[in-house]
Structure 1
Amino acid sequence: MLSTLKRFLIGRPLKSTALGEQKLNKTKALAILSSDALSSVAYGPEQILVVLITVSAAAIWYSIPIAIGVLILLTALILSYRQIIFAYPHGGGAYVVSKENLGIYPGLIAGGSLLVDYILTVAVSVSAGTDAITSAFPGLHPYNVAIAIVFVLFITTLNLRGVTESASILAYPVYLFVFALFILIGVGIYNIVTGDIPSELHTPIGTPVAGISLFLLLRAFASGSSALTGVEAISNAIPNFKAPAPNNAAKTLLAMGSLLALLFSGIVCLAYYYGIVPRADVTVVSQIAEQTFGRNFMYFFIQGTTALILILAANTGYSAFPLLAVNLAKDRFIPRMFTIRGDRLGYSNGIINLGVFSIILIIAFKGKTEHLIPLYAVGVFIPFSLSQTGMVVKWIREKPNGWVSKLIINTLGALISFIVCMMFFLTKFSQVWSVLIFLPLIIFLFHRIKNHYTAVGNQLGITTCEAALPIEGNVMILPVAGITHVVENSLNYAKSLSPFQIIAVYVHFEREDEAVFEEKWRKWQPDVRLVTLLSPYRSIINPLSKFIDTVQRKASESNYQVTVIIPQFIPKKGWHNILHNQSSLLIRAHLLYRRNVIITTVPFHLRE
């Protein structure tokens, strides 16, 4: 039944030779990898206005030069990540660039930041989209968390079905959102040009505003830079592109940057000319759409596509997180299971873990993750700064053709990213301080995992580990609970391995049982030695363990191996297991970590 459900939800397994069919073309890649960046248009411009309005409505005109600054940063990031794509065509993005050029610790900081950021991407995006839906239908508001979890499960399932399948489904809402916003911006600009928008709605650019300061402008710039989250996703996901992967990834990156620049600048301009003031209950995009079209079909179309892309922005995390995890796992900083492809050739362990952690975050914060947005943004700008600094070091060290222009681009990007990152810490420290705690913890965890794999490798390697001692013989210990076909089956197996010594062990709770069982055993198996152990505290495992330890100590003196043969009957139906005490499983679990003791289970399958 579980197998049938899995096939229904995920689809039939794909052969490894079908991997090429799971690659993305530029159209699908643009949708699936740009949803996070493009969705930030819905809240990036608003973040600028929220800061400026603390001075006065007259300060809104500063959103224009601030937006220009954000576009300059976007240009630097796009050009920089384009260079990263060609320099590191196997993906990995900020983690690989930082590790190879700045050292292992900067690489782990970048990798750890991005892993957490992709989890936040899913949680924040889905929660924001859920809020948009429940705002339209207030009766659903008490079910915010449940709705958000359903969306996470839906997107997780889509990605488990394969990259191309999820891209085919999720591409439509992304392009609908882009189409809707272009209509909104186009009609809005037409209204401005034709004079339908009164000039008194906005303060003329250049008007002096009392109370404005450089610190506040930098804070607004940092807040607006949250619109650039997700820009790095394409450089992480190069292996998902069809060949030639670097060329297709670079073209997709430029297309994403162009769309983001047009939509972001368009929304900022409309908000300025319309004199939009941010409100707690209505988004800036909603106010612009209402003033442009009124509350008609187009208004609800724009709101619906905005809600959809906010939810689907989570898909960028599902595309980038597994590939980043693969790079970290190959370097043995996280479990190797992240390198394994699932039935549909996706890195399903990364996809599932991302979904689980996102759901935990949504539940922990009750679907209200607005105050995590600064943490979400700073988690991106730390890798931005490190990766571009790494590229600066790379150009200085290697000095390839045209390295000077590349150096200037990356230096500019590194400086601006670092300034934005510092502004987040200075202006929103109460919301981002936790990054100073969880990043060192993550790096510590990375090193513990790395040390474990190194230790395991040293112990398992033929050339490094101690030579195994020769085995002169074998002592077989057979725990028995009665005289049954299950025990008989295990005894026959043990005898087939003769001439090894066999010791049957019976643990009894009452003295009267000892003599009765010994008599029965003598008649049934006179050639097999029986040891009876009294357990006054009714424990089977403790006396059995002590006996095994005693035998093992004596056996080791003669280079004998101790093998514990555990009889176990297997019911025909799985649910029948709950009707039995599972002593064999408990014994096996307890003995599994004993040194120099081999555990063998002999199953006996019941017919009914």
Structure 2
Amino acid sequence: MISFIKRLLIGRPLKSNELGEQKLNKTKALAILSSDALSSVAYGPEQILIVLVTVGVAAFWYSIPIAVGVVILLTALILSYRQIIFAYPHGGGAYVVSKNNLGVNPGLIAGGSLLVDYILTVAVSVSAGTDAITSAFPTLHGFNVEIAIAFVIFITILNLRGVTESASILAYPVYLFVLALFILIGVGIYNILTGGVSPELHTPIGTPVAGISLFILLRAFASGSSALTGVEAISNAIPNFKDPAPNNAAKTLMAMGALLTILFSGIVFLAYYYGIAPSREVTVVSQIAEETFGRNFMYFFIQGTTALILILAANTGYSAFPLLAVNLAKDKFIPRVFLMRGDRLGYSNGIIILGIASIILILAFQAETEHLIPLYAVGVFLPFTLSQLGMMVKWLREKPQGWIPKFIINTTGAVISFTVTMMFFLTKFSQVWPILIFLPIIVFFFHRIRKHYEAVGDQLRLTTCESSVTIEGNVMIVPVAGITQVVENSLNYAKSLSPEQIIAVYVAFEREDEKKLEEKWKKWQPDVRLVTLYSHYRSIINPLTKFVDTVEHKAREGNYKVTVVIPQFIPKKGWHNILHNQSSLLIRAFLLYRRDVVVTTVPYHLKK
């Protein structure tokens, strides 16, 4: 039944040689890896206006030069990540760049920030999309958490089916959103050029505004830069591209940069020219659409595709998180399970962990994650800054032909990214301070995991292992619950190994049961020694483990090995297991941690 449900949800398992078929072309890659960045157009321009409105509506003209600054930063980041793609074609993005050029700890800070950021991407995007849906249908507002969790489960299952299949489905809403905004911007600009929009709705550019300051402008710039989250995803996901992967990834990155520039600039310009003010009830994009088309089909088409893109922005996290986890796992900083491919050749453990972590976050914040957006943005700009610094160090160290323009690009990106990061800390410290606590904790755990793997490697390596002790013989201990076919099967197995001694051990709760078994045993297995242990507290584990420890201590002196042979019957049907006490599993669990004791299970399969 379980395998049938798994096949139904995820699909048939794929052979390893079908991996090439799971690679993405540029069209699909642009859709699933750019959804996070493109979706931020829905809230990035609004974040600028929210800061400027504190000064007054007259300050809205500053949104134009601020948007130019955001586009300059975007250009620097796009050009920089294009260089990263060719310099590090196996993916890893900011983590690999920082680790290789700045050191292990900066690399882990970048990697840890991005891992957390991708979890936030899923939680924030799905919650924002859910809000858009429940705003349109207020009767569903009480089910925000349930709807958000359902979307996370749906996207998780879709990604478990494979990168290509998820891209084929999710590409349509992304391109519909792009089409909708192109139509909105095109019609809006046409209305402006034909005089359909009154110039009195906005303050002319250059108008003096009382109360404006550099601090406010920098704060607005930092808030608007939240539109750049997700730009790094393509450099992390290079292995998902069809060959030549670096070339295709670079072209996709440039296409994403061009789309993001046009859409962001267009929305900021229309918001300025229409004199749109931010509102809690209605988004800026919604106001622009209503001013341009009225409440007709196009308005609802734009609103619908906006809600979809906000939800599907989560898919960027599903594409980039598993591949970043693979790079960290290869370096032994996180568990090796992240290296395993699933039935559909995706890194399914990373996908599942991301889905579970996102659901936990949604439950913890009741799908109201708006105040996590600043933390989410800092989690991106910190790796941005580190990756730019890393590339600067790389060019200074290697000095290849034509390195100076590349160095200038990375320096520009580093300065602006660092400025944005600092502005978030200065202006929204109450919301971003947790990063100062959880990042050192994450890096600490990275090092602890790496230390464990190194210790395991040292102990397993043949050249450094302790010299083996010659084993003179074997003492077999067989825990028994009575005289049964299961016990006989285990005793026969023990005898077949020709041990020096077999000891059957029976733990009795009643003295009468102890005497009865001893009498029967002498007649049934006279050649096998039976030891009975009386348990005062009705525990099998404590008396048995103490006995095993005693035998092992004596056996060690004579270079004997102690093996505990555990009889276990296997019911014909899986659900029958709940009808039995599973004492054999408990015994095995406790004995596995005894250093010099071998534990083996002898199964006896029931037929009915």
Is it true that 1:243 corresponds to 2:243 in the alignment?
Answer: yes
User: Partner letter of residue 210 of structure 1?
Assistant: A
User: CA shift at 1:386, angstroms?
Assistant: 0.3
Give the structure 1 partner of residue 216 of structure 2: 216
Structure 1 window deviating more from structure 2 (39-48 vs 14-23): it is: 14-23
* SS across alignment from 2:332: coil
User: Partner letter of residue 248 of structure 2?
Assistant: N
Give the structure 1 partner of residue 107 of structure 2: 107
2:475–2:499 contact (8 Å) kept in structure 1: no
Distance 2:509 2:324 in 1: 56
Distance 2:386 2:532 in 1: 67
Equivalent residues in 2 for 1:257-406, closer than 5 Å = 257-406=257-406
Give the structure 2 partner of residue 16 of structure 1: 16
Give the structure 2 partner of residue 196 of structure 1: 196
Structure 1 window deviating more from structure 2 (428-437 vs 494-503): it is: 494-503
* SS across alignment from 1:207: coil
Give the structure 2 partner of residue 458 of structure 1: 458
Distance 2:364 2:444 in 1: 24
2:490–2:565 contact (8 Å) kept in structure 1: yes
Distance 2:343 2:467 in 1: 39
Give the structure 2 partner of residue 56 of structure 1: 56
Distance 2:239 2:75 in 1: 24
Give the structure 2 partner of residue 117 of structure 1: 117
Give the structure 1 partner of residue 132 of structure 2: 132
User: CA shift at 1:470, angstroms?
Assistant: 1.3
1:398-433 deviation per Cα after TM superposition (whole angstroms, max 9, x unaligned): 010110000000000000000000000000000000
User: Partner letter of residue 495 of structure 1?
Assistant: K
User: CA shift at 1:495, angstroms?
Assistant: 1.0
User: Partner letter of residue 515 of structure 1?
Assistant: K
Give the structure 2 partner of residue 526 of structure 1: 526
Give the structure 2 partner of residue 574 of structure 1: 574
How many residues are paired up?
A: 608
User: CA shift at 1:140, angstroms?
Assistant: 0.6
Distance 1:509 1:90 in 2: 62
1:40-77 deviation per Cα after TM superposition (whole angstroms, max 9, x unaligned): 00000000000000110111110000000000000000
Distance 2:72 2:306 in 1: 25
User: Partner letter of residue 166 of structure 1?
Assistant: S
TM-score calculated relative to the size of structure 2 = 1.00
* SS across alignment from 1:477: strand
Relative distance call for 1:226 and 1:76 in structure 2 (3 A) is same
Distance 1:492 1:555 in 2: 22
Give the structure 2 partner of residue 470 of structure 1: 470
1:173-228 deviation per Cα after TM superposition (whole angstroms, max 9, x unaligned): 00000000000000000011111111111011111111100000000000000000
Give the structure 1 partner of residue 598 of structure 2: 598
Q: Percent identity?
A: 83
Give the structure 2 partner of residue 181 of structure 1: 181
Distance 2:341 2:217 in 1: 47
User: CA shift at 1:103, angstroms?
Assistant: 0.5
User: CA shift at 1:499, angstroms?
Assistant: 4.0
User: Partner letter of residue 606 of structure 2?
Assistant: L
1:456-512 deviation per Cα after TM superposition (whole angstroms, max 9, x unaligned): 001111101112211111000011111011111111111111143100001111222
Give the structure 1 partner of residue 489 of structure 2: 489
User: Partner letter of residue 305 of structure 2?
Assistant: T
* SS across alignment from 1:174: helix
1:16-37 deviation per Cα after TM superposition (whole angstroms, max 9, x unaligned): 1111111110000000100000
User: Partner letter of residue 49 of structure 2?
Assistant: L
User: Partner letter of residue 270 of structure 2?
Assistant: L
User: CA shift at 1:439, angstroms?
Assistant: 0.2
Give the structure 2 partner of residue 38 of structure 1: 38
Give the structure 2 partner of residue 160 of structure 1: 160
User: Partner letter of residue 316 of structure 1?
Assistant: T
User: CA shift at 1:111, angstroms?
Assistant: 0.3
Distance 1:537 1:169 in 2: 61
Distance 1:390 1:100 in 2: 8
* SS across alignment from 2:603: strand
Distance 1:293 1:467 in 2: 82
Distance 2:514 2:369 in 1: 65
Is it true that 1:537 corresponds to 2:517 in the alignment?
Answer: no
Distance 1:577 1:18 in 2: 38
Distance 1:35 1:410 in 2: 25
Structure 1 window deviating more from structure 2 (184-193 vs 571-580): it is: 571-580
User: Partner letter of residue 164 of structure 2?
Assistant: T
Distance 1:186 1:462 in 2: 69
User: Partner letter of residue 595 of structure 1?
Assistant: R
Distance 2:306 2:513 in 1: 75
User: CA shift at 1:255, angstroms?
Assistant: 0.2
* SS across alignment from 2:85: helix
User: Partner letter of residue 204 of structure 1?
Assistant: P
User: CA shift at 1:576, angstroms?
Assistant: 1.0
User: CA shift at 1:514, angstroms?
Assistant: 1.9
Distance 1:31 1:156 in 2: 17
Give the structure 2 partner of residue 233 of structure 1: 233
User: Partner letter of residue 82 of structure 1?
Assistant: R
2:70–2:221 contact (8 Å) kept in structure 1: yes
1:560-579 deviation per Cα after TM superposition (whole angstroms, max 9, x unaligned): 10000111111111111111
Give the structure 2 partner of residue 412 of structure 1: 412
TM-score calculated relative to the size of structure 1 = 1.00
Structure 1 window deviating more from structure 2 (566-575 vs 120-129): it is: 566-575
User: Partner letter of residue 488 of structure 1?
Assistant: E
2:188–2:270 contact (8 Å) kept in structure 1: yes
Distance 1:50 1:422 in 2: 19
User: Partner letter of residue 410 of structure 2?
Assistant: N
Give the structure 1 partner of residue 517 of structure 2: 517
Distance 1:227 1:590 in 2: 54
Structure 1 window deviating more from structure 2 (335-344 vs 507-516): it is: 507-516
